Structure 1
Amino acid sequence: MSPAQPRDATQAMPLAVLIARHARTSGDFATAVPNLTLHRRAVPTEPVPCIYSLGLGVVAQGGKRVMLQDSIIDYRAGQGMLTSIDQPVVTHVSQASAAEPFLGAMLTLDMHLILQTAAQMPAPPPTRAGDYRTLVIDELEPGLVDALERLLGLLDEPTLLPQLAPLIQQEIVVRLLAGRHRLALQHLLAAGSPIQQIFRAVAWLKQHFTQPVRVDDLAQRAHMSSSSFRQHFRAITGVSPLQFHKQLRLQEARQLMLNQNIDVGRAAGLVGYESASQFSREYSRVFGAPPQRDIQRVRQAG
């Protein structure tokens, strides 16, 4: 029997139909499936900084562009993007129209589920030290597409969703660990690996980003020397620990202003800034416009 071939864009159409059914207008939509969001755009969007968390992003129709450090990566219908650690990127929808809107889905993954599942599977073949990647974009394998379609299909079966969604999500994790996206996960699974230690520090930062941070304290949490921590943190995430901390604050403030209509001064205070003027300066450098103008621009584009 010949090995299964990856699906092309036309084969991914059932997934696009399912997404379109539950994302009827342009925007980002939470779903009844835990950790699953759906995304639709009728026009290409402007590049915007954001942070990709541990998870699987899927394009069912259209295309996206991701700028990661010095790399520019395009991915299209029938492909998935797996990130193994929070990754600051600049991204935008590159292919979308009213007739053929961009349609995508994002499934945030649970680190504990990945570790528990991996412990019950055969150990993967070893990889060279330089082979690990924290972001992998590749073709979606047929079995993975099938699991994703069944997960989205549960949105039409709300009475079965609570029981079946966790099972299908675990199946997706199994397929990611065994499939071509696994390179993004292998070094995350190695006990004591630098990426696992940095993951621990990033998890703490995400929970305490409103607080002031000292790199030495973060290094201690990761059980590393300060110099080694700085080196590995930048190599893995692409930014310094303090830059990452700043981006967490600014991203959260942007969401507060967009989703809860909070004014600039209050948003700055809620994410830990003591000076609204400093917040506005740093916000402008990251998003390309002062807070009020940026929020107005995003709402008009939507």
Structure 2
Amino acid sequence: MEMQLAELRSLTARAENRRTETGIPRVAMVQGAIPEHQLAAVYEPMINVILSGWKTMTVGEQTLRYDPATYFVMSVDLPAVGAIHPSDTGEPYLAVNLTIQPAVVATLLADMPKSAGGGLYSPAFSVAPVTPDLLDAWVRMLRLMERPGEVAALAPSYEREILFRVLQGPMGWMLRDIAMPDTALSRIGVAIQWIRENFARPIRVAALAEMAALSVSAFHRHFKAATALTPLQYQKHVRLLHARSLLMAGEGNATSVAFGVGYESPTQFSREYARQFGLPPSRDVARFRRA
């Protein structure tokens, strides 16, 4: 595996200190060290392979650490705060990720034996060690950056292979559950999508549970288990992240942005913003621009 990791590190060394597109659909890479709160975002479902350095991801009150030669799977949209760090010997953080499309997973499942889904109230994010087969698929995928004329023909098959290798691993159930319409995780995904699209509106948990075709108690337990947040906490995180992006872009002051994302009290907004990002809005914007 060391030779595969070395080649992947060489291929991703061209990445910038931010998410960098590769020219391959749904595949991106990143290197460097980024201040923690600059990585606060709603993360889309993805498979992320850590090549060097290490990363922490905090969702709700849960924090996971990802080291080299591990990958993590996030199977629903999650508001999270990430922090990345160089290795102890100074190599920069390097990682590559594939955004998951449930439709692609569904076509792959049609060609595979049926398997069990996740257990009751399972989290929708976790970490596992890479395998040589998984790394081999990633090597062939990233080599396409140097042969762009082959991307259209070969990238879809390499993407299916990466997904296949993950489906065979300990977190394969996550991919299966988001691609199958009758699982609790896919139903929670419907509610999550509604919250993301309507975050400024008041929400009723009973209405979300009905949308997910679950009882209120089952919906609440599945939602909290999958996201590490209650539905109202999830909405708050999405509101604050959206507000932060507006403030960083200079699209309004703290008061106008607070009302725009659904807060009725600018004071409450500033208090919750500072709790989430470490500084009140104006000072956080100043810190971001200095960085």
- Asked if TM exceeds 0.5, the reply is yes
User: 2:28 corresponds to which residue?
Assistant: 37
Q: Which stretch shifts more, 26-35 or 283-292?
A: 26-35
Alignment partner of 1:143 is 2:136: no
Q: Deviations over 1:10-36 (max 9, x none)?
A: 641211111112x1x422323422332
| Selected match of 1:192 from 169, 182, 187 | 182
Cα distance change, pair 225–289 in 1 and its aligned pair in 2 (3 A): same
Matched-pair identity in %: 32
Q: Which stretch shifts more, 83-92 or 192-201?
A: 83-92
AA in 2 matched with 1:20:
A
Alignment partner of 1:76 is 2:64: no
Q: SS at 2:182's partner residue?
A: coil
Matches within 5 A, 1:1-302: 7=1, 11-21=4-14, 23=15, 25-42=16-33, 45-46=35-36, 49-69=40-60, 71-96=62-87, 99-124=90-115, 126=116, 129=119, 132-189=122-179, 191-258=181-248, 260-265=249-254, 267-268=257-258, 271-273=261-263, 276-301=266-291
Distance 1:201 1:118 in 2: 24
- Preserved CA contact (<8 Å) 1:132 1:187: no
Distance 2:23 2:198 in 1: 27
Cα distance change, pair 75–264 in 1 and its aligned pair in 2 (3 A): same
Paired residues in the alignment total: 289
- Preserved CA contact (<8 Å) 1:45 1:94: no
Cα distance change, pair 38–299 in 1 and its aligned pair in 2 (3 A): farther
Measured after TM superposition, the shift of residue 235 of structure 1 is: 2.1
- Preserved CA contact (<8 Å) 1:68 1:88: yes
Q: SS at 1:174's partner residue?
A: helix
- Preserved CA contact (<8 Å) 2:32 2:86: no
Q: SS at 1:33's partner residue?
A: coil
Distance 1:299 1:232 in 2: 39
Q: SS at 1:60's partner residue?
A: strand
Q: SS at 2:72's partner residue?
A: strand
Distance 1:154 1:256 in 2: 36
AA in 1 matched with 2:281:
P
Gaps of 5+ in 2: none
- Preserved CA contact (<8 Å) 2:26 2:99: yes
Q: Deviations over 1:189-213 (max 9, x none)?
A: 5553322211111122223334332
Q: Deviations over 1:205-233 (max 9, x none)?
A: 22333433222221121112333322221
TM-score calculated relative to the size of structure 1: 0.82
Q: SS at 2:51's partner residue?
A: strand
Cα distance change, pair 237–225 in 1 and its aligned pair in 2 (3 A): same
Cα distance change, pair 11–149 in 1 and its aligned pair in 2 (3 A): closer
AA in 2 matched with 1:16:
R
Q: SS at 1:160's partner residue?
A: helix
Gaps of 5+ in 1: 1-6
TM-score calculated relative to the size of structure 2: 0.84
In angstroms, what is the RMSD of aligned CA positions? 2.9
Q: Deviations over 1:99-147 (max 9, x none)?
A: 51111122210112212211221112x3673594422211112222122
Cα distance change, pair 166–208 in 1 and its aligned pair in 2 (3 A): farther
AA in 1 matched with 2:113:
P
- Preserved CA contact (<8 Å) 1:40 1:101: yes
Measured after TM superposition, the shift of residue 184 of structure 1 is: 2.9
